[in-house]
Amino acid sequence: MDEVKVAVIAPILGRDLSFVGDVDARVRVFDANFAAPGRRAGPDGPAAGDTERLGAVLAQAEVLLVGYPVPEGLAARSPRLAWAHHTQAGVSNLAGTDLWDSQVTLTSSRGVMAAAAIAEYALAAAGYSGRGLHEAARQKAAGEFTREGYAMLTLRGATMGVIGLGGIGREVARLARAVGMRVIGTRRSVTVPLRDADGADLVLPAGQLLEVAAESDFLVVCSQLTAETAGFINAAVFAAMKPSAVLINIARGEEVDEDALVEAVTAGQIRGAVLDVYAGELAGQPPRPELVELPQILLTPHISGNGDTSVAEPLRQLFAENLRRYLDGQPLLNVVDRARGY
């Protein structure tokens, strides 16, 4: 194989791009982080010449390493592009870009993108609700101070339901079992119930979502956003859940029917929800008022993966391994199936 030119538009990986060039002497690296959305010279947009500079880089690139947000028109300006790797675990933010609509092979960082930090958020959300901190927060906001309203349970012995036992879901399962929780979950590739698999006590096919919901004290959404999962946490799911149960969403807001969630919380059908995402977030829309105003719902601005100072290293290692495979003509890891959506 001749020289392979790799363009990098992923500031999350830092300024030192030697991890790319060190893979093989045939690799030539182009730092295109100057073109990353959000890295602007001023309020009037890109710095003078940036568009032309990026065009010159993309015209040569055979491989692209791209973060989030994804710049527009990458495929159209990259006639030689054969493979693009995305630094995010989910690829729903690629849908609608010309990379998604192209014939370029796509790979993701599924399984390595801040899995531990996001799983810790899910466990903290369970503790926040189960150990009564949500009621303390409500009382503080209302100027109250009483022992009433604390419907508490211990995490030990409670059931954590995990929807989507991928890389993040398995880490949620591991942490939950470590504190004595029973874990049940779903996985799309599973066709029959499996015990002690994927870090869970019981894994069910994706079609048995309602069974998982009915048994869970905490229901954690970890699945990828696809045509099948859009809005699938709906009124039927909330009807199946225990009145004391809590929904935790660390995936994508569009996977939850927010009308049904607000109705379920308001009616006392479920205890509440902890959400790190909301519908329309990736499009820059504000959250609907009820998600902010209802005391039973805690909403955070997609920060569950923050705080892990080592998050970039697993991403670097995954890309380097895939680049070796690409150079050697071997199958790539985490190839995206556009039909499945991940």
Query: Is-catalytic flag, 62?
Result: no
Of the pLDDT bands very low, low, confident and very high (cuts 50, 70, 90), residue 39 is low
Does 306 score more than 80 pLDDT? yes
pLDDT of res. 41: 45
Question: Which helix H or strand E contains 107, and what residues bound it?
Answer: strand 105-107
Would you say how long the chain is, in residues? 342
pLDDT at position 37 over 50: yes
Tokens of residue 153, six digits: 């349970």
Q: How far apart are CA 7 and CA 1, in angstroms?
A: 18
What does the pLDDT average to over 30-41?
Answer: 79
- Active-site entry in 53, 174, 288, 302: 302
How far apart CA 335 and CA 307 sit, in angstroms, is: 28
pLDDT at 42: 45
Q: What tokens were used for 193? A: 């119930």
Q: Which amino acid is at 322?
A: N
Question: Is 60 exceeded by the pLDDT of residue 47?
Answer: no
Point out the catalytic residue in the list 211, 263, 281, 321.
281
pLDDT score recorded for residue 45: 47
- Mean pLDDT over 91-100 rounds to 88
Q: State the angle between helix axes of 115-130 and 167-178 in degrees (0 to 180), rounded to the nearest 10.
A: 50
Task: In whole angstroms, give the CA distance from residue 100 to residue 109.
Answer: 16
Give the dihedral sign, CA 46/49/51/54.
negative
Question: Catalytic residue at 72?
Answer: no
Single out the catalytic residue among 85, 110, 134, 252: 252
Amino acid 1: pLDDT: 62
- Give percent of the chain with pLDDT exceeding 70: 96
pLDDT band (50, 70, 90) for residue 163: very high
